[in-house]
Amino acid sequence: MPNGLLDIESLSRTEIEALLERARYFQPWQRDKDKRQDLLKGRLMVNLFYEASTRTRISFEIAAKRLGADAISITSSGSSVSKGETLLDTVNTLGAMRPDAIVMRHSASGAPHFLAKQLVEIPIINAGDGQHEHPTQALLDALTILDKRPTLEGLRVAIIGDVLHSRVARSNVHLLSKFGADVVLCGPAPLAPKELASIAAGVSVTHDMKEALRETDIIMMLRVQLERQNEVSFPQVDYYRFYGLRLEHLGLAKQGAIVMHPGPMNRGKEISTEVADSSHSVILSQVENGIAIRMAVLEKVLS
């Protein structure tokens, strides 16, 4: 990973394991009274977000600060992007201020890869590009699963919802497949087309939520991403009835199955409040682990 972190697909198992191991070292820091060490003192990380974010943007900022680095966040609405500046001009402008890494989120799939080719001296960390990948989300999801299970190998993971438009799903599929998990993608046909099974080894697709949940170890729910759909491909009124996770579904999964959601979640749309707040849910652990993972990634990229 010489130039940053662009996706999970191009990472090796060894690289992923190294990041997870380092994140485990950082996990206890989150609950210490003194949360800061100066491993990255003097380094500058710039967050450049062209799409809304709560978890990713803030946790990258916290991660940088906990490592002693300086962190600046820019959003498209509060910058000269709103005056018509191109992505490349904005990034070249930021590059002239000599940051040590740029963390970016963009609605266009491949935007960070494009910039990484243009700006060879400044590492780019992908914080979510269109419907392509969200690598740090998959890493924090893996860390959260491994807090509860000894290995990813042989786990059955159901990813349910708007899989087609989900960068979270794509990154998770690549990571879980590399570690020998079986992934079942599930959603209405327009949002979970059968072709998605060819993304990686060990992936299957079903449109039947009960089939996806049967004997599953891990349930990952996804938000319907209306912002990435030109037309609504499944009636919203029927969505919760067919694909909303409710308490009665949990009996289909393995005993002790865990429920995940990358957030932001829409209660009563893809997940019920009872499930989201149940003892099965690790949704807030995912958020907490996001800081440890982003510390590991920043340390690797900025050191």
Q: Where does this chain bind ligand CP (CB under 6 A)?
A: 53-56, 128, 134, 137, 262-264
> Given 24, 55, 113, 300, which residue is catalytic?
55
In angstroms, what is the minimal distance from the CB of 176 to ligand CP?
17
> Given 14, 31, 33, 83, which residue is catalytic?
83
Decide if 14 is catalytic: no
219 neighbors 191 (Cβ within 8 angstroms):
no
In angstroms, what is the minimal distance from the CB of 251 to ligand CP?
28
DSSP string, 33-94: SS----TTTT-EEEEEESS--SHHHHHHHHHHHHTT-EEEEEEGGGSGGGGT--HHHHHHHH
In angstroms, what is the minimal distance from the CB of 79 to ligand CP?
18
> Given 43, 57, 66, 105, which residue is catalytic?
105
Decide if 249 is catalytic: no
DSSP string, 186-243: ES-TTTS-GGGGGSSTTEEEES-HHHHHTT-SEEEE----GGG-SS--S-HHHHHHHH
Output 168 or 203, the one with its CB closest to ligand CP. 168
Output 54 or 80, the one with its CB closest to ligand CP. 54
Output 127 or 182, the one with its CB closest to ligand CP. 127
> Given 43, 57, 66, 134, which residue is catalytic?
134
Question: What residues are paired with 141 via a beta bridge?
Answer: none
In angstroms, what is the minimal distance from the CB of 167 to ligand CP?
8
Output 74 or 206, the one with its CB closest to ligand CP. 74
CA distance 132 to 294: 19
Decide if 134 is catalytic: yes
Decide if 65 is catalytic: no
C-alpha separations of 149 from 244, 263, 285 in Å: 25, 22, 14
Query: Going by DSSP bridges, is the β-strand pair 101-106/44-49 parallel, antiparallel, or unpaired?
Result: parallel
Decide if 56 is catalytic: yes
The catalytic site residues sit at 55-56, 83, 105, 134
